[in-house]
A and B are shown apart, each in its own frame.
Chain A
Amino acid sequence: MTHSEENFQEKLIEFEARIARGEKIEPGDWMPERYRKQLIRMISQHAHSEIVGMLPEGAWIPHAPNLRRKMVLLAKVQDEGGHGQYLYHAAETLGATREEMTEALLDGRAKYASVFNYPTLTWADNAAIGWLVDGAAIMNQTMLAQCSYGPYSRAMVRICAEEGFHKKQGQEMVIQYAQGTLKQQAMMQDAINRWWWPTLMMFGPHDSESKNTPELQRWGIKTKTNDELRQEFIDEMVPALHALNLTIPDPELHYDEASGHWISGEIDWDEFWRVVKGAGPLNKERLAARRKAHEDGRWVREAAAAYAANMTNS
């Protein structure tokens, strides 16, 4: 071993010992390059998901059925925008720049949660997104709030605290529509039918296919696997949806007495990879909407910069 390799091994041992003691790694602290890269990858994808995640529900703000629902939805979509900002900030503490991340999103290189590439066809989709999609996101984010990197963990604590309302406003609507008129019930069931599988896909590929998981677990970034989190979600949601007389679009779904778990049928992994790779129902439209928003906002950024320059010079 050369001197620098020995030095690296020593630092790595101390780094892993800090994580094992439950300490947080903070900006300025030594970290392996792989840890930094993995975090930038995860956090920037997470940030992009919050930003693109504003679009499916944002489209319904002008069509909310009453003023309260409109205010709630506005507040929720604003929160998602804010969450994107918390996360871009966390990635920046690792050396990523806002510019690189924005460009990667706009030119289509960056990944974001595939679930946002599905369309919101009726108002009930906002109910399903709130309870299912935000519910699934909270499970993942509650785990990440424990993660070993200080800025990511703090962003997650803040996001989880705020997302509680997102999930509950969705659940409140699902309860209301499931007990409403026959038309409302049918609309709610249709939304659950379309959002169930994309939500299960949010947890990512099976553990056996997830090449990043072991390293992420060793370094305290993730403490649970994709399949563990997905199972927790299924076990929580199935009885709740059944209690509301809503059915789940999975003929193979059954309760396993021995393990105490609800066992799901297999996810359509061809569809999963198709959407990840950009051929989902709305991938092109989502990116086009982001690009348009960026272009439409250009004059505001230019005006603000000109004003700031003017104030500095005068």
Chain B
Amino acid sequence: MNDTQWPRYEVFQQDKPDKPHRNIGTVHAPDAEMALQNARDVYGRRPENYNLWVVPSEQIFSKTAEEMTLDPGWANETVPEEGTAVPFAVFTKSSYRRAMTHVQYVGEVAAKTAVSAMQKAIATYTEGDPFIWWICPLYAITRTQENDIESMFAPAHDKLYRLPNQYRTVAAMRKIKRESGEQ
């Protein structure tokens, strides 16, 4: 492993307790613990953070509507008889309008293989006509824990100077222009 090419982890961010986790990008890290820390530093500098998930990129199985049209045989496989089904998390993207949103968490399915989990996900989560589907086994997700929230996310709430609305430049320019007009 080269020292500039650690494995990639997909990062999912939850803004508020009642909002779904949304994919916001990736980080590189030597392990999941460091991936969470990096995700917090890279994607958590603003207050909109309640919880983060990281998943090794290689554990994500993804399909777009276009990929499936161009490769209709993608789902041809024989599901093994033995073995038990494991739970998979399902993420979909279903709107071009919401610019910031890529795939977001919609629920879970249980299946023996990724291909069969994908088929179940597509059949189950149809709301909004999704056109991108991601799945990963639940065990691949590393999450920030309840007692991490304070140390990881609370400091951003005090750093209001990171927000543009803390600078009164528009009013200042208006005042200067008005005063120069009066002279």
Contact = CB atoms under 8 A, between A and B. Distances in A.
Contact of B1 (A23, A145, A153, A305): A305
A165 B166 contact: yes
Nearest to A174: B169
B100 A29 contact: no
B172 interface: yes
Contacts of A22: 96
A51 to B, nearest CB: 13
Contact of A171 (B1, B96, B169, B177): B169
Contacts of A282: none
Contacts, number: 121
A102 B64 contact: no
Interface in B154-183: 159, 161-164, 166-169, 172-173, 176-177, 180
Interface string A67-92: 01001100100110010011001101
A273 interface: no
Interface string B8-33: 10000000000000001111111100
Q: Is the interface of B mostly helix, strand, loop or mixed?
A: mixed
B63 interface: yes
A121 interface: no
Contact of B2 (A85, A99, A153, A308): A99
Nearest to B102: A154
Contacts of B45: 75, 78-79, 82, 162
A151 B10 CA distance: 13
Q: Most chain-A Cβ atoms within 10 A of its Cβ — which of B5, B66, B67, B93?
A: B66
A28 B164 contact: no
A85 B66 contact: no
Interface of A: 22-24, 26-30, 68, 71-72, 75, 78-79, 82, 85-86, 89-90, 92, 97-99, 102-103, 145, 150-151, 153-155, 157-158, 162, 164-165, 167-169, 171-172, 175, 179, 240, 243-244, 298, 301-302, 304-305, 307-309, 311-312
18 contacts: A22-B96, A23-B96, A26-B64, A29-B64, A79-B162, A82-B45, A92-B8, A99-B5, A151-B102, A154-B99, A158-B24, A158-B100, A162-B162, A165-B161, A172-B169, A172-B172, A302-B3, A304-B29
